[in-house]
Structure 1
Amino acid sequence: MKFDLHTHHERCGHATGTIAEYVEEAINVGLYVIGISDHSPYFAHKDDQPFPHIAMARSEFGRYVAEVLRVKEIYKDHIEVLLGVESDYFADKIDIYREVFAAYPFDYIIGSVHQTRGVSIFNRNRWKGLGPTEQTAEKKVYYELIRQSAECGLFQILGHIDAMKGYFPAFSDIAGAEAEVDAALQAVAANDLAIEINTSGKTKDVGGWYPSDAILERALHFGVDVTFGSDAHVTERIGDDLELVRQRLKEIGFSRWVFFRKKEKIVVPI
C-alpha cells in the first residue's frame, strides 16, 4: 500500500497547487492514501497572518479543514484522503494549539520543530562563528525540543527530525548530542508515535532524506515506527522516492511502516 502523509498547498504561501490537484496527482502516481497536511497558522500571534509566506492565515483554518473534507468525499471512490496538518511545536504555546485542533476531526497531526532559540532551523547564518562546543549546544537544544514534542500528547507524527542539516550538512557530524537524540527517539517509542522519512531534503543543500540512516538505525533499535512523507510543495513531488525509501528501510531492518486514520495507527508491511 502506497501512501504519502506530508503535503503542502497554496494556502501556506510557499507552495503551489490546490488540494484537489494534489489528490489527483496522488491518484496518477498510484497512491492508495494521501494525507493533506498544510502548515497550521500561528495561533498564538496577535495578527491573523503574521508570516504570509510561511503559514496560512488563522481565518483560513476552518476553510482549510472544510475543503479537505469536501475533497475527501469527492474522491472517496478513487483514493483515501486523510485530514492532517503540520504544526510547529512551541513549548510555551502548546495549549493554544491543543485547544484549536481539538475542534476538528484530524486523522493525524505532524509536529515539527522549525525554530530553536527563536531562529529558523533553516537559517544558514545561525552557524556562523560557532565553534564545536557551541554547535553541540545548538544540536542538544534542537533534540530536547523534539523530545518535548513527542511527550506533549498532541502529535501522532514527528516531522523531519534532523532537518537542521537542510542548509548546514555538517549538522549530522556534530558530536556530543547522542544522548539527546536517543532520548528523543525513546520518547517517540514510549508515546507510540511515528517519525517520518521525509524526502524533501533533496530540495535543500544537504540532498537526500530526513532523517539520516544513522538515526533510522537508532530508531529501529528503540522500536520507533516510521511513516512516509514527501513534504511536497509542488504536485510533481507527490510520492517522491517512495519506493527507494521502502527499499532502504528494508535494508536497515524495518518490516513495517504506518499511517494514521482518526489518530489510530494503521500498520502496513513494507
Structure 2
Amino acid sequence: MKFDLHTHHDRCGHASDKIKDYIEAAIQAGFQVIGISDHSPYFAHELDQPQPGIAMARSDFPNYIAEVLRLKEQYQDRIEVLLGVESDFYIDQIELYRSSYEPYPFDYIIGSVHQTRGVSIFNRTRWKGKDDAEQLDEKKHYYELIRDSANSGLFQILGHIDAMKGYYPGFADIRGAESEIDEALKAVAANDISIEINTSGGTKDCGGWYPSDAILERALHFGADVTFGSDAHVPSRVGDDWELVRKRLREIGFSRWVFFRQKRKVIVPL
C-alpha cells in the first residue's frame, strides 16, 4: 500500500495548484492513500492572515476542511483521501491550537517545530556569529521542543525532525545533543505516535531526506514508528522517492511503517 501524508496546495501561499491536483497526482502515481495537510493558520495572531506567503487565513480554515471532506467523498472509489493539517508547535499556545482543531474530524495532525526563540528554523542568518556552545544550545533547545510536541497529546505525526539543517547543513555536524534527540524519540514511542520521513530535504541545501539515517537508526532502537511524507508543494512531487525510502528503511531494519485514519494507527508492512 502506497501512501503520502504530507502535501500542501495554493492556500498556504507558497505552494502551487489545488487540492484536487495533488489527489490526481497521487492516483497517477499509483497511490492508494493521499493525505492533505496544509499549513495551519496562526491562530493566536490578531490578524486573520499575518503571513500570506506562509499560512492560510484563519477565516479560511473551515473552507479548507470542507473542501478536503468534499473531495474525500468525491474520490472515495479511486483513492482514500485523508484529512490532515501541518500544525505549528508553540508550547505556550498549545491549548489554543488544540481547541481550534477539536471541532473537525482530522485523520491526523502533523506537529512541526518551524520556529525556535521566535526565528524560523530555515533562517540562514540565525547561525551567524554563534560560537560552538551557542550552536549546541540552539540544537538542544530545538529537540527539547520536539520532545514537548510529542508529549503534548495533540499530534499523530512529528514533521521533519531535523529540518533545521535544511539551509544550514552544518547543523547535522553539531555534536552534543544526542541525549535530547534520544529523549524526543523516546517520547514518540511512549506516546504511540510517529515521525515522518520527509523527502523535501532534497529541495533544500542539505539534500537528502529528513531525518538522517543516524536518527532513523535511533528511532528503530527506541521503537518509534515512522511514516512517509513528500511535503509536496507542487503536484509532481507527490510520493517523491517513496520506493527509495521504503528500501532504505528495510536496510536500516524497520519492518513496518504507518499512516493514520481517524487518528488511529494503520500498520503497513515494509
**TM-score, scaled relative to structure 1:** 1.00
After TM superposition, the structure 1 = structure 2 runs for residues 127-146 of structure 1, keeping only pairs within 5 Å, are 127-146=127-146
Q: Corresponding residue for 1:245?
A: 245
Q: Corresponding residue for 2:6?
A: 6
After TM superposition, the structure 1 = structure 2 runs for residues 116-155 of structure 1, keeping only pairs within 5 Å, are 116-155=116-155
Q: Deviations over 1:50-102 (max 9, x none)?
A: 00000000000000000000001111000000000000000000100100100
Q: Using the alignment, how far apart are the partners of 1:52 and 1:79 within structure 2? A: 31
Letter in 2 for 1:259: F
After TM superposition, the structure 1 = structure 2 runs for residues 136-175 of structure 1, keeping only pairs within 5 Å, are 136-175=136-175
> Number of aligned pairs?
270
Q: Which runs of 5+ in 1 are unaligned?
A: none
Q: Using the alignment, how far apart are the partners of 1:25 and 1:73 within structure 2? A: 17
SS state at 2:257 partner: strand
SS state at 1:129 partner: coil
Q: Corresponding residue for 1:46?
A: 46
Q: Deviations over 1:10-65 (max 9, x none)?
A: 00000001011100010000000000000010001110000000000000000000
SS state at 1:228 partner: strand
Q: Using the alignment, how far apart are the partners of 2:138 and 2:86 within structure 1? A: 23
How far is the alpha carbon of 1:129 from its aligned partner? Answer: 1.1
How far is the alpha carbon of 1:214 from its aligned partner? Answer: 0.3
Letter in 2 for 1:157: I
Q: Deviations over 1:134-193 (max 9, x none)?
A: 110000000000000000010000000000000000111101111000000000000001
Q: Using the alignment, how far apart are the partners of 1:189 and 1:44 within structure 2? A: 30
**What RMSD in Å do the two structures reach over aligned CA positions?**
0.4
1:228 matched to 2:228: yes
Q: Using the alignment, how far apart are the partners of 2:129 and 2:40 within structure 1? A: 33
After TM superposition, the structure 1 = structure 2 runs for residues 203-214 of structure 1, keeping only pairs within 5 Å, are 203-214=203-214
Displaced runs of 4+ in structure 1, greater than 2 A? none
Q: Using the alignment, how far apart are the partners of 1:153 and 1:49 within structure 2? A: 27
Q: Corresponding residue for 1:27?
A: 27
SS state at 2:52 partner: coil
Q: Using the alignment, how far apart are the partners of 1:185 and 1:263 within structure 2? A: 20
SS state at 2:155 partner: coil
Q: Deviations over 1:107-132 (max 9, x none)?
A: 00000000000000000000011111
Letter in 2 for 1:93: Q
Q: Using the alignment, how far apart are the partners of 2:170 and 2:193 within structure 1? A: 28
Q: Using the alignment, how far apart are the partners of 1:139 and 1:19 within structure 2? A: 34
SS state at 2:250 partner: helix
Q: Using the alignment, how far apart are the partners of 1:268 and 1:172 within structure 2? A: 30
After TM superposition, the structure 1 = structure 2 runs for residues 68-217 of structure 1, keeping only pairs within 5 Å, are 68-217=68-217
Q: Percent identity?
A: 74
Q: Corresponding residue for 2:67?
A: 67
Q: Using the alignment, how far apart are the partners of 1:24 and 1:32 within structure 2? A: 11
SS state at 1:196 partner: strand
SS state at 2:109 partner: strand
Q: Using the alignment, how far apart are the partners of 1:169 and 1:212 within structure 2? A: 11
**TM-score, scaled relative to structure 2:** 1.00
Q: Using the alignment, how far apart are the partners of 2:260 and 2:49 within structure 1? A: 29
